[in-house]
Each structure stands twice: as C-alpha cells, then as structure tokens.
A and B are shown apart, each in its own frame.
Chain A
C-alpha cells in the first residue's frame, strides 16, 4: 500500500513537472525570441517593408483578430448557453438529451479546415456574404459552440439544485428562476467559458483563411469586409522565410500574451465571483 502510494505520488509529480517544464519552455522561448520585437510602433502601426510585414507593425492583425473573436463569441455563446439551459432545465427526454449531446460532440469533432471549407461554400459563396468578418465569425462561432456549451452545461449542473428548487417552490417559473438566480449565480463561470472560447477562436487559422482573413488588410470598419488576423499574419511571415522571422516571433508573442492575459483575468474574475457567491 505504501509503495503504491509512493509510486502514485512520484507519477503525479513527474507529470506535473514535465507539463510545467514544457509550458514554461514554450512561453519562455517565444517571449525570448519575440520580446525584442515588441515596441509601441510594432503594436500600433500597419505592416510595411518591401516584403510586406518585414517592417512596421501588426495593428490591423490585432484589430482584425479581435473583430473575428468578438463576432465568434457573440455568435457561438448565445446558442451554446441556450442549449445548455435547455438541456439542464427544460429537456425531460433522455433520448433528446443524448441526441443533442451527440450533435455537440460531432461539431466538436469537425476538423477546423473542414469547417472552414463548409463555411466558405455556404456563407461566402451560396449565401453570398463574401469573405468577411461575419462569415468568419459564424465559422468560428460554430467551432467554439461546443467548447462553451460543455462548460456552461457543467456550470449549470453544478449549481446547488436546492437553490433552484427554492425559487420553484415559491411558485416562480423557470424563466424567472433562470434570469434571476441561475444566470447571476453562474455569471463568473459562463464569462470565463466564453473568453476561453474566444482565445480558442483567436488561434484557429484554417476557418479564417477560408472565410474572412486576407493578407494585409487594413483595420476593419464593418462586419462585411475582410480583415487581417494574427495567426494568418504569423503564417505569412514564416512562409516568407528568414527575412521576417523576428516579426513572426513578435506576432506569436502578442498572440500568446493576449491569450495568457485573458486567461489570468478570467480566472481571477471567476474566483472573485465564486468567493462572493460562497461567502
């Protein structure tokens, strides 16, 4: 028993150390390689240079990525949270519940390039939206929908049922209970799920390339125009060879910093909400 316990401990610590070392190394490598590129000019100017992007900055890629991400989370989060609410509070048929779970799993399992191709043919061509932020936002929204739905459903299921039933027991209907008790109680976790979904969308290159991200576009001003995106910018810089590698690391640095900062902020927010809830 003692040996088994010791073995489990060593196994767990080894796992933690290996994972931590890999993550720290990855971040440190990108930050070390790209850190020197980060200047105010890099963050606030459009790309320039003879090989476009070898000089100047990445502002249109930052604004474009934010536009794609925001559109995606708006389009993805609403049906994701609605589906989770339906499954937890309204669905009484186990068969229906299994069917919806199966659909969600299938969407989660679609390779992003296939999703990009589907969105290209449906939204860009058939529905004639063209390559724009909206087409891309829908494609990315479909991609993050399962991500947000699974987290939202888990959050709703973990809420103390007595709290919900207390509202029902007062005669309040489900809609009122959801709006006044469930959603405020789950706000922190829902928000963190949405932001993490946004981070996931921000890094998804394939659907963006097919549907709305174009090389070196200017800052977006409407949902119906294409835009630049950080992952595409990174890809193009690397594809140009060694001339723009520093800029590529700088772009990667910005992407990772945005995702890291979002994660930290979201974790802090969710913990604060949880503390407020439990105190």
Chain B
C-alpha cells in the first residue's frame, strides 16, 4: 500500500506572527519557516506504518513556492521515499489544495492519505475533509491512534467529549491530532541521503486545477490587545480579589 502525505511550509511554531503595517497579511519576509507541525506527525505516522509492514511506499507532496522543496527534503530525510512539489507562488486555498491532491491521488492510487488536521498559519482545518469528499472516500479526522486492519483502517479520534473510534474502508483519508505520535528528528546521514531521493516538480496547471481564490481577503488586522493587570503580593490579597469577583 502506498501512502500519500501532503506537507505545508508555514511560519515556524515558535515565531510570533506580525501583521504587516498595510493590513494585507502577515509579514513572512525573513521569518523562519518550517514544516507544519501536524504534517510532521503525518509523515511520522506514515513511516511507522511502513516500518510495521502496513505500507510499502511514502510519497510526500507540497503545494507552494520553490522553497517548499526544503519542506519536502525534510519529509524525505525523515523517511518518505519520493516527493512531488506542485509549485506556485500564489496562496492556494484548502479547496484548491484538495482538488490538486485529488488529481495526484488519482494518479498515485494511495491506500491512505495522511494530512495534518490544520495548518498553524491559516488555521482552516478543511483540506483533509474536502479531499475525502472529492475522492468519495471516508475520513478519520483528528486521529489519536491509527490501526490498519486488512482492507480497512480503525481510527481513534480526539473529539470534544473524549475519544471516538471509527472503522473506515480503504482507501481512506486521515488527519492527525497532536497525540498520534512524536515525530522523529532526521539524522545527518538521512538528511544527506534525502538529497538523492527523487523529487518531481509540477504546476497546478499540470493537474488542470484552477487555484483562483474564492475568498477575498479585505483586511488583516492585529487582534485587540489585552492589557496586563496587576500582580498581587500574596495569597491573602488574591483571595480578596477572587471574593470581589463574586466567586466565593
């Protein structure tokens, strides 16, 4: 079974995003970029399934600028077998990403597509579900545990009240939540080896997908700033404050 793993190049998890002064977006110039953390978990899960013998090949895909090659090389260094970059300098919305991934899935015929549940940039949380709908296949979103079992996959999902387990017929789409696994670091020899692994470059046009945005961003602004209040000296002073709030 082949596993397709889409990965996105986003602002690094530890960087505090700044809104551009002209209100057109977030300033990404000279900012550290990394693989979306949920996508790292997706790559790791694919590798573990391959190590367990449930998968034979892992194909990483990224849709983005030429620099997204770095993100794909990271996936290859972790253990993906080959990579596809669908290169574009435009912002591509989840719906268009899902359409491109659908076209790639039609070619590659993966048994599983494992995606991050959301990117920490746009926070949309849509792509996996949309891809599943376009492919007419089941989805195991916010996965906590994944077990491949013959021609189906059992996914334990993180839901608001706790955990829910569903059984999905393969091929299926999975989106990762935080507790699915802890992604490995790529070793230096594997980083070197990853440079030799195949990486093909395509364009959205190759897949016949129109990536024109459906949502117009009119403005991007800073959120209202919360002011720091006061520090109290001791527990007794805190107790007074808490009582004044009517809590006790």
Are A and B associated in one complex?
A: no
Q: State the A residues within 8 Å of B (CB).
A: none
Q: State the B residues within 8 Å of A (CB).
A: none
